[in-house]
Amino acid sequence: MSLTQPIRTTCLRCSRISTPVSKTKTSSPSGLAYRQFTSSSSSTRSSWLRSHPRLALTILGLTLPTSYFFFPASPSLTPHTYSEQPISSTQTLSPQHKLITVPISQPSTSREFFERPYRTDGSIANTEGGEVVVQHMMIKSPDIQIERPYTPINDCLDDGEIRMVIKRVRGGEVGRVVHNLKDGDKVGIRGPIPTFSIYPNQYDKIIMISTGTAISPFLQLLSKLPSPSPSSSEVIPKLHLIHSNPLEGREDWSNTTIDKSFLPNLQDKFGDNLQITRIDPGLIPKQVIVNSLQHETKSNKDQRVLVLICLPPMLMRPLCGSMTPNLGQGPITGILGELGLTNKQVWKLE
């Protein structure tokens, strides 16, 4: 894992992290322990499977989807198993957007993956050393076997609850289900799942570029970063959020004081350390990026700058180039490529 650039899941829609757990007597040299699967009857099962391959595949094909989506095994929040979690509150932000809150205080095991978050490679993040992990949740429809990723906007561990803004789009089954939920209803959810992780103190400046609900990972990141304090020795980089205004007639929900993780409260938290630039809907203007970088004294390729981008493909492509078909980063082209930025300084989010 690189310590100078973020890491993230290969695919948010079908991410399955391998959860590390402590071994009984041994651990890896780095101090990170991984799950071991052992069984005294493994040879017997293997022999049976070899003798009845078609039956085994049939049972597996019928059992896994059914148990995975409809029979959650644990009441706790875990990345790999769905459970029915109560919704403590819902709030309509706009006809298309709804804010839902899911508590994580009970049972206590639901806090485990927030207290000791994992990187996307399954290792335990070094939060005590300043690493910050942005996480997302998966929500499923109870009617059909479909799940969708949603990113909390807040510091879930600090708040003791998960707050997510869910957008309803035409034909979106999970969004339809969530928008019909009321206070006290339950929702099928699993997570938290790591989206990316960074060491903020390794950068002089972090630039975040988003539109619409794609601002969610940046709201979470800003919520998790500590407030600047003259008495603190912790180094906080300069922060610059570039976010598109909503289309005419649409509510600018992130620019309200409804939630403490929305922009006005974050501006109060960071003061002059956070610059917020609002731009018109559409392509990201080159001059906005140039203005954000020009205050640095080093050449662009030598800057300790990180540009995080969460945009739809049609807006991402001219700015920094597309992600690869398997959601890899791909080369940095477009405006950021012209300005000399590299993959070490740019990270694309789906």
The pLDDT tens digits for 274-331 are 999 999 999 999 999 999 998 654 555 567 999 999 999 999 999 999 999 988 899 9
CA distance 96 to 251: 9
* Residue 99 within a domain: yes
Q: Which residue has the higher pLDDT, 170 or 207?
A: 207
According to DSSP, residue 212 is labeled: G
Give the distance from CA 320 to its chain's centroid: 20
Does residue 31 surpass a pLDDT of 60? no
Q: Are residues 85 and 174 in the same domain?
A: yes
What are the pLDDT digits (tens) for 79-108?
Answer: 989 999 999 999 999 999 999 999 996 666
Q: What number of other Cβ atoms are within 10 A of residue 41's Cβ?
A: 8
| Distance in angstroms (rounded) separating the CA atoms of residues 278 and 261 | 17
Q: Which of 196, 212, 227 marks a domain boundary?
A: 196
Q: Evaluate whether residue 296 is within a structural domain.
A: yes
Residue 54 in this model has a pLDDT that exceeds 80: no
Say what the pLDDT of residue 350 is: 83
* Residue 241 banded pLDDT, cuts 50, 70, 90: very high
Centroid of chain to Cα 12: 8
Q: Are residues 189 and 301 in the same domain?
A: no
The annotation status of 174 as a binding-site residue, yes or no, is yes
How sure is the predictor about 37, in pLDDT bands with cuts at 50, 70 and 90? very low
Q: Can you give the pLDDT at residue 122? A: 87
- Is residue 241 domain-shared with residue 328, that is, in the same domain? yes
- With pLDDT > 70 as the criterion, what percentage of the chain qualifies? 75
Residues 325 and 221 in one domain: yes
Q: What is the pLDDT of residue 5?
A: 46
Asked if residue 49 is part of any domain, the answer here is no
| 252 and 225 in a common domain | yes
Q: What is the 3-state secondary structure (H, E, C) of 246-263?
A: CCCCCCCHHHCCCCCCCH
pLDDT band at 74 (very low <50, low <70, confident <90, very high): low
Task: Tell me the mean pLDDT in the region 167-174.
Answer: 88
Same domain? For 211 and 302 the reply is yes
CB 211 within 8 A of CB 244: yes
What is the structure's pLDDT at 127?
Answer: 94
pLDDT confidence band for 32 (50 / 70 / 90): very low
Distances (CA, A) of 176 to 10, 22, 86, 143: 26, 40, 17, 11
DSSP assigned state of 156:
H
Q: What is the model's pLDDT at position 75?
A: 79
What's the pLDDT score for residue 34?
A: 29
Let me know whether 150 and 173 are in one domain.
yes
CATH code, domain with 182:
2.40.30.10
Q: Does residue 214 share a domain with residue 156?
A: no
**pLDDT confidence of residue 24:** 36
Residue 210 lies in a domain: yes
Q: What is the pLDDT of residue 328?
A: 87
Phi first, then psi: give them for residue 319, nearest 5 degrees. -85, -45
Domain boundary among 166, 196, 226: 196
187 and 208 together in one domain = no
Q: What is the mean pLDDT of residues 159-171?
A: 93
| 237 & 296 share domain | yes
Task: Flag whether 152 is marked binding.
Answer: no
Residue 269 counted as domain residue: yes
Task: Tell me the pLDDT of the chain averaged across its residues.
Answer: 81
Give residue 239's pLDDT band: very low, low, confident or very high (50, 70, 90): very high
Measured from the Cβ of residue 288, the count of other Cβ atoms closer than 10 Å reads 16
pLDDT class of 42 with cuts at 50, 70, 90: very low
Q: Would the annotation count 149 as a binding residue?
A: yes
Please compute the mean of the pLDDT values over residues 335-348 and round it to a whole number: 95
Domain of 179? 77-196
Q: Is residue 62 domain-resident?
A: no
Whether residue 265 has pLDDT greater than 90: yes
Q: Do 209 and 191 lie in a common domain?
A: no
Shared domain for 104 and 153, answered yes or no, is yes
Residue 68 is assigned to a ligand binding site: no
Nearest to 16 by CA among 138, 101, 110, 102: 138
CA atoms within 13 A on the CB side of 323: 20
148 labelled ligand-binding: yes
Last residue within a domain, chosen from 196, 220, 238: 196
CATH number at residue 253: 3.40.50.80
Mean pLDDT of 65-91: 75
Whether 98 has a binding-site annotation, put simply, is no
**Alpha helix positions (H), 160-285:** 173-179, 216-224, 263-270
Number of domains in the chain: 2
